Amino acid sequence: MTALTGREPARALRRSIAADLAQFARLPTLTFVRSASHPAGAAYARQVSRGARRVGVPVSQELLDETTTTAEAVGLVERLAADEQVQGIIVALPLPSAVDTASVVSAVPPSKDVDRITRAAIGAVLAGASELAPGVATAVLRLLDFYEIPLAGRLVAVVGRSRGVGKPVASMLLARDATVVLCHSKTHDLAGIASQADVVVSCVGHPGLITREHVKPGAVVVDVGATYTADGLRGDVEAEGVAQVASAYTPVPGGVGPLTVYCLLENLLVLAREATSG
Ligand code: NAP
Q: How far is the CA of 278 from the centre of ligand 1 (A)?
A: 36
* Nearest protein Cα to ligand 1, atom 6: 160
Does the domain spanning 135-257 belong to CATH 3.40.50.720?
yes
What pLDDT score was predicted for residue 131? 85
22, with CB counted inside 10 A (0-12, 13-18, 19+), is exposed
- Measured from the CB, is residue 162 less than 6 Å from ligand 1? yes
pLDDT: which is higher, 99 or 130: 99
Contacts of residue 179, Cβ cutoff 8 Å, sequence gap at least 6:
153, 154, 155, 156
* Nearest protein Cα to ligand 1, atom 5: 204
Does residue 278 register a pLDDT over 70? no
Q: How far is the CA of 85 from the centre of ligand 1 (A)?
A: 33
Does residue 85 register a pLDDT over 70? yes
- Measured from the CB, is residue 160 less than 6 Å from ligand 1? yes
CATH of domain 25-111: 3.40.50.10860
Q: Indicate where the chain has its CATH 3.40.50.720 domain(s).
A: 135-257
What's 96's DSSP letter? P
Substitution site in 184, 190, 211, 256 for ligand 1 pocket (most atoms within 8 Å of beta carbon) = 184
Name the pLDDT band for 277 (thresholds 50, 70, 90).
confident
Tell me what the pLDDT averaged over the chain comes to. Answer: 96
Q: Is the pTM of this model over 0.75?
A: yes
Closest-lying ligand 1 atom to the alpha carbon of residue 259: 40
Contacts of residue 267, Cβ cutoff 8 Å, sequence gap at least 6:
88, 114, 115, 116, 132, 135, 138
* Nearest protein Cα to ligand 1, atom 30: 225
What pLDDT score was predicted for residue 226? 94
- Measured from the CB, is residue 227 less than 6 Å from ligand 1? yes
Q: How far is the CA of 205 from the centre of ligand 1 (A)?
A: 5
- Measured from the CB, is residue 156 less than 6 Å from ligand 1? no
Give which of 117, 65, 63 is closest to 88, Cα–Cα: 117
Q: How far is the CA of 206 from the centre of ligand 1 (A)?
A: 8
* Nearest protein Cα to ligand 1, atom 8: 160
Q: Indicate where the chain has its CATH 3.40.50.10860 domain(s).
A: 25-111
Give which of 196, 197, 206 is closest to 252, Cα–Cα: 206
Q: What is the largest CA-CA distance in the chain?
A: 54
